[in-house]
Amino acid sequence: MSLPALSFEQLQQYAPLALRQSIAAGQYQGHTSGLGKGRVQANIVILPGDWANEFLRYCTLNRQACPILDVTEPGDPYFRNLGGAIDIRHEVPRYRVFRDGELSEEPLDIEHLWQDDMVAFALGCSFSFEQPLLEAGIRLRHIDLGRNIAMFRTNIDTRPTARLSGKMVVTMRPMKAAAAIQAIQITGRMPNVHGAPVHIGDPSLIGIQSLDKPDYGDAVPVEADEIPVFWACGVTPQSVVQASRPPLCITHAPGCMLVTDLWNSAL
């Protein structure tokens, strides 16, 4: 017997463990921006063992886009350093499965796909710095509108390894100039969750043709007295996977993060 679906508003009151349990039970399948108040959220990348070491090196070369929070042992589906033991096969609202670089499915659970050599990576997420921004009085329109964050592929090259290369993906948050300066100062102190912005202003300079058409997430309007502010995004590995084509890769669906037990203040 399936459990009833839970609304975003209901889940805003949940502690991380209860939130993950509800997700594992299939009660929520949406974005996590605004959930798990004050807790670290993580992007997820899962690869077969023969790609894992190279991906680890790729992350060390591209720390702003891919800041590592935790890595599982080969074949072990549990993260051990994000608070309690977290079973990565069940506790993300929605996953993406790439086969030879092509998106093949978006399941709610990946137990049937787990292999004995798989390694899971938890990468820092910009959702973790949103609470400090809100506490500083900076409004975030995607949260006000109840939308997923807008994410865009750019023309910014990441540093390659032998088999992994691709362009950076960024998140966009519109702000007035004074708020943008304040946001730079706040996020610059949080390198484990992407740090300071990679670009401010004209989106065409980083290869974005229209802010009305994000590659992932939802469009968020930019008002006449605002500027778009762009941060490196943990969806970057999905862009890299599509370019580099490993035989199998599993990630979170954009905006559907792993909510951990760690406090943002611990980063």
Beta carbons of 234 and 32 less than 8 angstroms apart: no
Residues 121, 79: Cα–Cα separation, whole Å: 9
Domain 8-124+241-266 is classified in which CATH homologous superfamily? PSTPO5379-like (3.40.1640.10)
97 Cβ contact partners less than 8 Å away, ≥ 6 residues apart: 103, 104, 105, 106, 107, 110, 113, 248, 249, 250
C-alpha 257: how far from chain center: 6
258 Cβ contact partners less than 8 Å away, ≥ 6 residues apart: 20, 41, 42, 43, 44, 82, 86, 88, 91, 92, 122, 252
Prediction pTM value: 0.89
Question: Per-10-residue mean pLDDT for the chain, 267 residues long?
Answer: 86 95 96 90 95 96 95 97 93 96 96 97 90 93 92 96 95 97 95 93 98 95 97 90 90 93 86
Count Cβ atoms within 10 A of the Cβ of residue 137 and give its class: 0-12 exposed, 13-18 middle, 19 or more buried.
exposed
Which 8-state DSSP code applies to residue 128?
A: H
Instruction: Look at residue 265 in the predicted model and tell me its pLDDT.
Output: 82
Instruction: Look at residue 33 in the predicted model and tell me its pLDDT.
Output: 86
First-to-last CA distance in the chain?
Answer: 40
Domain 127-237 is classified in which CATH homologous superfamily? PSTPO5379-like domain (3.30.2040.10)
Domain-by-domain residue ranges, the chain? 8-124+241-266, 127-237
Residues 257, 33: Cα–Cα separation, whole Å: 8
Instruction: Look at residue 85 in the predicted model and tell me its pLDDT.
Output: 86
59 backbone dihedrals φ, ψ, rounded to 5°: -65, -40
Which 8-state DSSP code applies to residue 217?
A: S
State the pairing for strand pair 95-99/68-71.
Answer: unpaired
Residues 72, 24: Cα–Cα separation, whole Å: 19
Residues 60, 58: Cα–Cα separation, whole Å: 6
